């Protein structure tokens, strides 16, 4: 179902007053107590073309919803894939995460293409995994014991360095009759993360018992309390949160504004 929109205050006004006094409202509404200040939406062709149309996020992740809201996609329908995430974990992490995200996108697109709600204008799917330096894929911990062991492994191996991979898949129907009838674009982002090796076992256990990382790949949330485990990163921060926003916007532009029309018949939905 579609998320409810959070009421936003008007954005701050510019001022050229050297005294630093706030500029006049210029006709903007006066902020009300309890409202959240937000920027004006991005005025981009791709986002304007899907405004007030069905945009589906094939993920139940609140973090991905929050990230997409930053580029103005606040009226999303949240429809997670119903298929089990059972890709072969012997695959390299890059391939594993891409196969999982593409499976999610295709599953939801196929289920909604003939929906009584109307054809979706865009389906966005994503999947995130954490990988040790040996290529072992770490998804969500299944127990407190596994959770503790997972974080200790990330701290102790390879000087605390490990990698986070997020695959993003965007699908949109084509206006033309070209097979397979949709545009599909993919991207996999990689970010290296270094845990602070001075983090104690006591801190690891204390963090695990906050339960913040219980529903997260690798068992920690870098955007929350889990930041106390992290010394530094090499790559994009939002990728570790669960969605590389810059790359996602580029995929949206590709499938909405200038989709590639296949030369040959593609895989059927």
Count of CB atoms situated within 10 Å of the CB of 120: 25
- Of 121, 257, 259, the C-alpha closest to 185 is 259
Distance in angstroms (rounded) separating the CA atoms of residues 156 and 196:
9
Residue from 127, 175, 201, 215 carrying the catalytic annotation: 127
Query: Is 156 considered catalytic here?
Result: no
- Residues 86 and 267: their CA atoms lie apart, in Å, by 20
* Cα 115 from Cα 231, distance rounded (Å): 47
Q: What span, in angstroms and rounded, lies between the C-alpha atoms of 147 and 204? A: 9
Distance (Å, whole) CA 15 – CA 23: 5
Q: Of 69, 41, 45, 44, nearest to 55 (Cα)?
A: 69
- By annotation, the residues acting in catalysis are 127
């Amino acid at each position: 179902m579609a998320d409810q929109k959070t009421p936003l205050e008007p954005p701050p006004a510019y001022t050229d007053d050297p005294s630093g006094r706030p500029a006049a409202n210029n006709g903007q509404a006066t902020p009300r107590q309890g409202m959240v200040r937000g920027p004006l939406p991005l005025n981009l062709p791709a986002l304007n073309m899907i405004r007030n149309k069905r945009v589906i996020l094939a993920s139940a992740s609140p973090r991905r919803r929050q990230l997409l809201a930053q580029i103005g996609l606040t009226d999303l329908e949240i429809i997670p894939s119903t298929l089990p995430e059972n890709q072969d974990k012997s695959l390299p992490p890059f391939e594993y995460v891409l196969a999982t995200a593409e499976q999610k996108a295709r599953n939801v697109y196929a289920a909604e293409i003939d929906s009584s709600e109307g054809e979706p204008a865009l389906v966005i799917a994503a999947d995130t995994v954490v990988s040790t330096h040996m290529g072992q894929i770490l998804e969500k911990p299944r127990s407190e014991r596994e959770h503790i062991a997972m974080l200790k492994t990330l701290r102790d191996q390879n000087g605390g360095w490990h990698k986070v991979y997020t695959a993003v898949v965007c699908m949109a129907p084509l206006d033309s009759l070209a097979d397979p009838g949709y545009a599909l674009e993919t991207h996999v982002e990689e970010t290296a993360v270094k845990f602070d090796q001075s983090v104690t076992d006591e801190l690891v256990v204390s963090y695990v018992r906050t339960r913040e990382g219980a529903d997260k790949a690798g068992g920690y949330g870098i955007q929350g309390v889990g930041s106390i485990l992290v010394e530094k990163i090499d790559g994009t921060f939002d990728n570790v949160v669960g969605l590389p926003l810059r790359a996602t916007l580029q995929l949206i532009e590709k499938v909405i504004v200038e989709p590639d029309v296949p030369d040959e018949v593609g895989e059927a939905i």
